[in-house]
């Protein structure tokens, strides 16, 4: 892991914000490289003045989408059995991890891509079942960008604010996920209530 961190820092400092995108794309394709480390480190590097926080978030989201496309098309081309067989040959990855992502996608449908981008252990792999099931690429892209932007923003901002203590973010990833879920849940409830209120007002005006 030390070598990975050294490489991530070198890329970010050499390329600036685009380096964050490169690191995030690699993290998306190779799940053993955790976003819980890469993103807070990107935030810390931004706090040192190597690039801005907003460009870092934009670059990270673009990198997440690029990496997601790789796994999506890999899933579409190889299918479930071949992907699972290959997973057992990847360090720190197992077929059961892919099966877990497939089960998550089958339970939640397309929304699994949005939610899955904020679940450690699922966020990268969720692109594979989307590809296997040939989820429409436009909706896959929208859900991936939406979920990735929320997750990337939360971890990059945390790393930025914590500065040299950025490594503590990894220990609170579960809490970060819960906060994001609660926030999304409140947004959904608010949206539904507004729709119901408008419908009620429309009915009373007839």
Contacts 24+ apart (CB under 8 A), 83-88: 83/128, 83/132
Average pLDDT rounded to a whole number, residues 74-81: 92
Q: Do residues 65 and 148 make contact, with C-beta atoms less than 8 angstroms apart?
A: yes
Q: Which residue has the tokens 């720190």?
A: 92
Average pLDDT rounded to a whole number, residues 59-69: 96
pLDDT at 204 over 70: no
**Token pair of 80 as six digits:** 């479930």
Please report, for residues 16, 66, 144, 180, the alpha-carbon distance to residue 137 in angstroms, rounded to integers and kept in the order given.
Answer: 30, 13, 10, 25
Q: Per-residue pLDDT tens for 146-183? A: 999 999 998 999 899 888 887 777 666 666 666 665 66
Q: Do residues 107 and 101 make contact, with C-beta atoms less than 8 angstroms apart?
A: no
Of 70 and 123, more confident: 70
Closest C-alpha among 68, 189, 72, 203 to residue 129 = 72
Please report, for residues 7, 34, 160, 165, the alpha-carbon distance to residue 3 in angstroms, rounded to integers and kept in the order given.
Answer: 6, 13, 22, 19
Domain positions in the chain: 2-170
Q: Which of 54-63, 83-92, 134-143 has the lowest mean pLDDT?
A: 83-92
Please report, for residues 8, 56, 90, 165, the alpha-carbon distance to residue 115 in angstroms, rounded to integers and kept in the order given.
Answer: 26, 22, 25, 28
């Amino acid at each position: 892991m030390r070598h990975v961190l050294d490489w991530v820092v070198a890329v970010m400092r050499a390329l600036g914000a685009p380096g964050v995108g490169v690191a995030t794309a690699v993290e998306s394709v190779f799940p053993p490289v955790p976003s819980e480390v890469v993103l807070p480190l990107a935030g810390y590097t931004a706090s040192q003045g190597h690039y801005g926080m907003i460009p870092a978030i934009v670059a990270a989201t673009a990198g997440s989408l690029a990496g997601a496309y790789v796994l999506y098309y890999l899933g579409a081309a190889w299918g479930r059995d071949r992907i699972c067989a290959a997973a057992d040959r990847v360090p720190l990855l197992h077929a059961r991890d892919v099966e877990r992502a497939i089960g998550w996608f089958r339970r939640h449908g397309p929304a699994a891509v949005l939610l899955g981008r904020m679940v450690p252990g699922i966020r990268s792999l969720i692109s594979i079942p989307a590809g296997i099931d040939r989820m429409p690429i436009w909706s896959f892209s929208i859900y991936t960008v939406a979920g990735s932007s929320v997750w990337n923003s939360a971890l990059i901002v945390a790393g930025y604010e914590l500065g040299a203590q950025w490594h503590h973010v990894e220990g609170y990833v579960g809490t970060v996920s819960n906060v994001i879920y609660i926030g999304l849940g409140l947004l959904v409830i608010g949206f539904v209530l507004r729709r119901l209120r408008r419908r009620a007002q429309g009915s009373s005006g007839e």
